Structure formats: C-alpha cells, structure tokens
Amino acid sequence: MFDNNPKKKSNYDPFQEDFRNSLKMGLDLQREIFKDANINSHYDVMNKTLENIYNEIKSKVNDTEDKTKLNKVKTIVYWYYQLPINPKYKKKTQRGYQIIYPENIDIKINKLLNLGYQILITQLNKLKLL
C-alpha cells in the first residue's frame, strides 16, 4: 500500500481523480460553447466562456510567467466589458451621446478573444486538463 523507498521521487498531483474528471468535463463543455459562439460571432458568449475557464484555472497556475499570461486573458475579458462605456467610442450627436464603433471593431474583438482562448488552451495543456 505504501512505498517505503525514500529514493523514489513522487510527483505531487493537486487534483484527485474524480475531481479532475469533473473539471475536465466542465472545461470541455466551456470549450465547445466557445467554439460554437465563435462560429456564430456571439462575442458576449465567447467572453463569458473565457472568463469561466480563466476562473477555473487561475488558482491552479503557479509559474510567474504563466500568471502573466493569465493576466493578459483577464485584461482581454475586462477590455470587452469596458467597450460600451469607453469614452473613445462615445460621440455627441443631436440626440445626445451615442456609442459609435469603428467598422473594424468586430475583427479586433474576434482577434483578441481568440488570442485569450489560445492562451487558456496552452495553460490547460500545461495543467494536463485537456
């Protein structure tokens, strides 16, 4: 039952097997929702799934380089939330202030959300949750 060999190195696994399986199922579901939303250009859903995956793995990452990458995902998520109240896009018209986005804002949103997704996928690979 117990191995008394002191020279044998053991790898510490912070996840129990049943918890790992349920976590994988939830993360797989979030990834599939993100893919479907990406195909249909539902940016709100994409952003919410990024936030969900980020919240699941942020406490499990220990490396400082990986934490800085996760902070980049966090800034992408909050950047998307700040779009409607960004003063750069508010224009004064005859009817008052209106939000007017540039023509290529969809491209920028899609690019940044997919970049955040790629960062999260590499972190999931490092945590062996894929």
Tens-place pLDDT, residues 4-46: 555 555 555 555 566 667 777 888 899 999 999 999 999 999 9
Q: How far apart are CA 119 and CA 80, in angstroms?
A: 16
> What residues does each domain of the chain span?
17-126
| pTM (two decimals) | 0.78
- The encoded tokens of residue 15 equal 């996840």
For the stretch 64-103, pLDDT in tens is: 899 999 999 999 999 999 988 888 888 888 888 888 888 8
Judged against a pLDDT cut of 50, whether residue 124 lies above it is answered with: yes
Place of tokens 């960062």: 119
Name the burial class of residue 100, with classes exposed (0-12), middle (13-18) and buried (19+) by CB atoms within 10 angstroms of its CB.
exposed
Distances (CA, A) of 38 to 24, 32, 106: 21, 10, 12
Give pLDDT, residue 63. 86
